Structure 1
């Protein structure tokens, strides 16, 4: 089954309130699996361990001066905050499997692109959602300047990307949907 993944839509503005409606979030299947794995680790390992540590610290007596108890409660709040964040992201995200992309001649969400800069250096990036970015791992956001410039481009196209060190011209060499 081929799937056509649209570009990330612009957030429509709510006319009455002047606020923006939430954007539709996309995740690659691999990104969703990484987030799900982290969620399970927090729920099944980290939270029970910290809860046990807080209980042990609470049993020691005066909680107002008990650094272990205070730190443990803070860590527990951080874990709970991360669990809520991951749960919400996974529940509301649209999961995209790049290998099911129908049009493989252009760059869409999930594509792995090979680029060549002005000096002839080849760079490879995968276009992913904002929750999956890892520049050192070769994953850039579809919402980044480079991600936006590459959308709907074909091999041989040249794009100019504005970055903090100045503009750079990149040529799209190859597109893969792994």
Structure 2
């Protein structure tokens, strides 16, 4: 990625917004269990209190990260249509003749077969390319390539 704010897909935005809502709920629950340090009893209670404080700190960091990512995506605007970027839907043709439309995103969804992450070998290879370009990348089985057919449209597998 370029270091500039990157757009994200609507699906990735929804996932981040849901995670943010869940984290805020979790934060309220954890914060509600913290007690005034003067009223803490024995060492076990103190250890529990420290553990909850650490958990709260981790939650706060993740909330901050997600909030910043969503803010940057807003600044970046929509995914580019002239070259492949994060948030783009790109149709590629593989050497065996198969053609697939893929979404280049940040977050891997376990059941989403049309998403490639921007930091995967194919995702990195696609970034910055235009229709007609051939990209080369490494797979566990060795070198591979694909041709960028088009950018835009809805991701579908064929």
TM-score bracket relative to the smaller structure: 0.5 to 0.7
Distance (whole Å) between structure 2 residues aligned to residue 134 and residue 145 of structure 1: 14
- Closer, same or farther: CA 112–92 of 1 in aligned 2, 3 Å: closer
How many angstroms apart in 1 are the aligned matches of 2:39 and 2:26?
20
Deviation of 1:162 (Å): 2.2
Computed over aligned residues only, the root mean square deviation of the Cα atoms, in angstroms, reads 3.3
Higher deviation after alignment, 113-122 or 23-32: 113-122
Unpaired runs of 5+ residues, structure 1, are 1-7, 10-22
The one of 148, 153, 158 equivalent to 1:172 is 148
Q: TM-score, normalised by structure 1?
A: 0.62
**1:110-125 alignment to 2 at 5 Å?**
110-125=87-102
**1:1-178, aligned counterparts within 5 Å?**
9=2, 23-30=3-10, 31-43=12-24, 45-55=25-35, 61-62=41-42, 64-66=43-45, 67-93=47-73, 94-98=75-79, 103=82, 107-128=84-105, 132-134=106-108, 136=110, 137=112, 138-142=114-118, 144-150=120-126, 151-154=128-131, 157-178=133-154
Q: Quick one: distance in 2 between partners of 1:71 and 1:37?
A: 25
Q: 1: distance between equivalents of 2:6 and 2:71?
A: 11
Q: Is the 8 A contact 1:110 1:177 kept in 2?
A: no
Q: Which runs of 5+ in 2 are unaligned?
A: none
Secondary structure, counterpart of 1:55 in structure 2? coil
Separation in 2, partners of 1:75, 1:41: 14
Higher helix share: 2
1:5 maps to none
Per-residue CA deviation, residues 90-129 of structure 1 (Å, 9 max, x unaligned), is 333434334xx554xx54443212334334454442123x
